[in-house]
């Protein structure tokens, strides 16, 4: 077991591309791989992870931030064998990055990291200060995009900011809602070409430096996804044999293998019990 969780920020630039759906189902798939996983709803102010998981939390991050509850009280068991810490919705005070919000996020992640093998930060859409700060606390970042031009444009803008402001040189990519096998690779190659042409020359004082987009996988358009979202259930539990579910499982398996290869001593155990 690792002494500290691997922290992955899941972001998108554009909203409505399936980011929270992916985060929840990826967590379930990683839990099946034997990892102790927690999803932290870092979409402060417009949270909807609770809706996706059909949870009605009595205690949220807002209660922890205001001292009304402890972090331990805010950790909930989610369907799929992982844990969640949910954020309150409609909290205007968390829509901008104040020094207090900055410090509280750091403190919460520091407290959670020793308890889990992997923490997923489900960030808000866009490139606000709050979103960028949450991403800065992660070891790795994964961008969700779809083949729609607006999604690709926003994904590029996000990748550019992460490369220039945070010094990211390797960014994971998942292409959702593809209509044909191999479309994800095509999208990745298109984004990589634009990054190579317009972003890399801006790095290191004008010297070209590689920013690699690592395609983790593609998820096909699947009617089972819409049905599971409407029913507020995990796709992996409602329709485990659906093409989109199998794609998420494959992405999780790749991540688990990569993590074990980097640090064999930290390979997850077979237990999926709560990491408290």
Domains of the chain: 18-24+35-139 (3.40.50.300), 140-221 (no CATH)
116-152 pLDDT tens trace: 999 999 998 888 888 899 999 999 999 999 999 999 9
How does 126-163 read in b/e, with b if 16+ C-beta sit within 10 Å?
bbbebbbbbbbbbebbbbbbbbeeebbebbbebbbbbb
Instruction: Determine the pLDDT at residue 126.
Output: 84
Across the range 208-221, mean pLDDT stands at 92
What are the DSSP calls for 129-188, one per residue? HHHHHHHHTSSEEEEEE-SSHHHHHHHHHHHHHHHHHS---EEEEEEEEESSTTHHHHHH
Q: What is the arithmetic mean of pLDDT over 79-102?
A: 80
Reported as a single tens digit per residue, the pLDDT across 106-119 is 999 999 999 999 99
pTM over 0.85: yes
As given in the structure block, the two tokens for residue 195 are 């990054």
10 or 265, which is more confident: 10
pLDDT confidence of residue 102: 87
Q: Is residue 62 scored above 90 in pLDDT?
A: no
Residue 4's H or E segment, with its range, is none
Give pLDDT tens digits for 16-54: 899 999 999 999 999 999 999 999 998 876 778 999 999
CB count in 10 Å sphere of residue 101 = 19
């Amino acid at each position: 077991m690792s002494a500290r969780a691997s922290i992955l920020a899941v972001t998108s630039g554009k909203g409505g591309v399936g980011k929270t759906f992916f985060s929840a189902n990826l967590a379930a798939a990683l839990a099946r791989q034997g990892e102790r996983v927690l999803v932290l709803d870092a979409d402060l102010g417009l949270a909807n992870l609770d809706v996706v998981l059909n949870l009605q939390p009595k205690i949220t991050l807002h209660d922890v931030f205001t001292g009304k509850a402890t972090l331990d009280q805010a950790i909930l068991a989610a369907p799929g064998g992982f844990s969640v810490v949910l954020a309150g919705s409609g909290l205007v005070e968390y829509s901008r990055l104040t020094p207090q919000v900055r410090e509280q996020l750091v403190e919460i992640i520091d407290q959670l990291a020793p308890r889990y093998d992997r923490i997923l930060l489900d960030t808000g859409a866009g490139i606000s200060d709050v979103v960028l700060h949450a991403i800065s606390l992660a070891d790795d970042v994964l961008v969700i995009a779809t083949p729609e031009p607006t999604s690709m444009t926003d994904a590029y803008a996000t990748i550019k900011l992460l490369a220039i402001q945070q010094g990211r040189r390797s960014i994971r990519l998942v292409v959702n809602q593809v209509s044909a096998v191999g479309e994800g690779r095509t999208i990745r190659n298109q984004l990589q070409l634009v990054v190579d042409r317009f972003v890399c020359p801006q790095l290191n004082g004008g010297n070209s430096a590689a920013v690699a987009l690592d395609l983790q996988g593609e998820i096909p358009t699947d009617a089972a996804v819409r049905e599971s979202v409407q029913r507020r259930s995990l796709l992996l539990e409602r329709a485990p044999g659906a093409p989109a579910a199998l794609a998420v499982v494959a992405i999780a398996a790749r991540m688990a293998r990569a993590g074990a290869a980097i640090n064999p001593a930290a390979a997850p155990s077979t237990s999926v019990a709560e990491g408290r």
